[in-house]
């Protein structure tokens, strides 16, 4: 008799996530990795992460997934050795393969020398603030008159913001021409346009980034990153409370990473990198940064951090924490943006007048 046909496999059930808090485990420094510049923080096995941007892969697990490192050219690096920060590698009793991959990837790719920033003569701002990129590639800069400077391929347009955005200090334009804006004395995050939010659970939002249908907010009142639904503003989850003291700026990085600048008034200013499950995997910059003013990540994983006190933009490699270069700014930077076209846009205030500023661009 013919063998019976195998039963059809059952449909896979949709994954269900819970979000308990996690506690990074710290242990003595790894002596075998003297070149590692970033602090590695791993989570003990069996701990459920606190945040998921997308369903976890079936195989391999996130802790087993290899880390993609930008290609390193074969030609020698002509740059002088970059200053190194003092940092330590921290691992749990059962080190993960992710930590091993990060240690193995301690060599930083070549970062080309950048020209001096070019100041745009037409971009005359009163008091520049946050900078962001619109879906159509426009560069959006807030100034003190609650107007919006739009820079598109060398043209400059002033657009009056909706009344709900008066007093804005953080702004993000959406595909439907609506805005996400943090505005007002109470620093509330609101959505304008065809879809409006009724309320959020935020206390003191300071910066935000949109990732798919989620909004990630640097929430200073609760010292963590809050995850909201872009559709209705309702809280989906949160992460980073065990690591962050005063999350100030936030950006999306490579492979689902989230880059957060932590800048407490008392204590070290540094950059934390969280993976797509909300786990703090590394930190760096604590002996370089003094007064961060914005963060952006390019397509190769280099992290640009504006610093007002240093009058500079520092560039780190996110996988190792290495400081690869420093961009001098002709004024006091108030933010930084690396566009989809790899242009570096830096709004800044003039030293002589706090009520006068401009845009500097590296293309």
Adjacent-strand bridge partners of 40:
282
How far is 108 from 93, CA to CA, in rounded Å?
27
DSSP summary character for residue 265? S
The DSSP secondary structure of 25-66, one letter per residue, reads: B--PPPTT-TT--SEE-B--TTPPPS--SSPPPSSS-TTTSP
- Predicted pLDDT at 203: 93
- The model carries a pTM of 0.73
- For the chain, residues with pLDDT lower than 70 are 1-107, 122, 144-147, 150-166, 354-355
176 CB neighbour count, 10 Å cutoff: 10
Task: Please state, in angstroms and as integers, the Cα–Cα distance from residue 36 to each residue in 260, 273, 317, following that order.
Answer: 20, 15, 12
Adjacent-strand bridge partners of 360:
119, 346
Q: Could you tell me which of 268, 269, 320 has the C-alpha nearest to residue 294?
A: 269
- Predicted pLDDT at 194: 84
Task: Please state, in angstroms and as integers, the Cα–Cα distance from residue 51 to each residue in 67, 80, 119, 337, following that order.
Answer: 19, 40, 40, 26
Task: Please state, in angstroms and as integers, the Cα–Cα distance from residue 135 to each residue in 173, 177, 276, following that order.
Answer: 7, 9, 23
The DSSP secondary structure of 111-145, one letter per residue, reads: -PPPPPPEEPTT--BSS---EEE-TTS-EEEE-TT
Element containing residue 101 per DSSP (H, E): helix 97-104
Please report, to the nearest 10 degrees, the dihedral formed by the alpha carbons of residues 47, 52, 55, 60 taken in order.
-50
Could you tell me which residues come within 8 angstroms of residue 6 by beta carbon, excluding any fewer than 6 positions away? none
Q: Is the peptide bond before 60 cis (omega within 30 degrees of 0)?
A: yes
- Angular region, 167: left φ>0, alpha ψ -120 to 50, beta rest: left
């Amino acid at each position: 008799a013919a063998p019976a046909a195998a039963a059809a496999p059952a449909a896979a059930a949709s994954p269900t996530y819970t979000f308990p808090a996690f506690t990074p485990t710290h242990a003595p420094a790894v002596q075998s990795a003297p070149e590692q510049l970033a602090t590695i923080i791993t989570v003990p096995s069996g701990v459920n992460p606190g945040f998921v941007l997308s369903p976890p892969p079936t195989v391999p697990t996130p802790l087993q997934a290899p880390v993609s490192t930008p290609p390193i050219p074969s030609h020698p690096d002509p740059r002088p050795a970059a200053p190194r920060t003092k940092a330590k590698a921290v691992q749990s009793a059962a080190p993960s393969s992710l930590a091993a991959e990060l240690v193995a990837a301690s060599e930083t790719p070549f970062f080309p020398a950048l020209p001096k920033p070019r100041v745009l003569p037409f971009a005359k701002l009163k008091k520049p603030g946050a900078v962001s990129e619109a879906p159509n590639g426009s560069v959006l800069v807030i100034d003190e008159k609650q107007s919006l400077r739009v820079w598109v391929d060398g043209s400059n347009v002033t657009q009056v913001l909706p009344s709900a955005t008066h007093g804005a200090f953080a702004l993000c334009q959406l595909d439907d021409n609506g805005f996400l804006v943090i505005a007002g004395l109470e620093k509330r995050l609101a959505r304008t346009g065809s879809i409006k939010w009724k309320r959020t659970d935020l206390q003191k939002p300071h910066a935000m980034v949109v990732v798919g249908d989620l909004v990630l907010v640097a929430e200073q009142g609760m010292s963590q990153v809050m995850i909201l639904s872009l559709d209705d503003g309702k809280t989906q989850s949160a992460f980073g409370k065990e690591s962050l003291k005063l999350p100030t700026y936030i950006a999306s990085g490579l492979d689902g990473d989230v880059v957060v600048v932590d800048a407490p008034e008392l204590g070290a200013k540094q950059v934390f990198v969280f993976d797509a499950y909300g786990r703090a995997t590394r930190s760096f910059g604590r002996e370089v940064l003094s007064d961060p003013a914005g963060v952006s990540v390019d397509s190769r994983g280099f992290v640009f951090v504006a610093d007002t006190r240093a009058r500079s933009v520092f560039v780190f490699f996110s996988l190792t924490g290495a400081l690869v270069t420093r961009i001098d700014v002709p004024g006091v930077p108030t933010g930084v943006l690396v566009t989809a076209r790899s242009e570096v846009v830096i709004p800044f205030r003039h030293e002589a007048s706090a009520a006068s500023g401009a845009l500097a661009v590296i293309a």
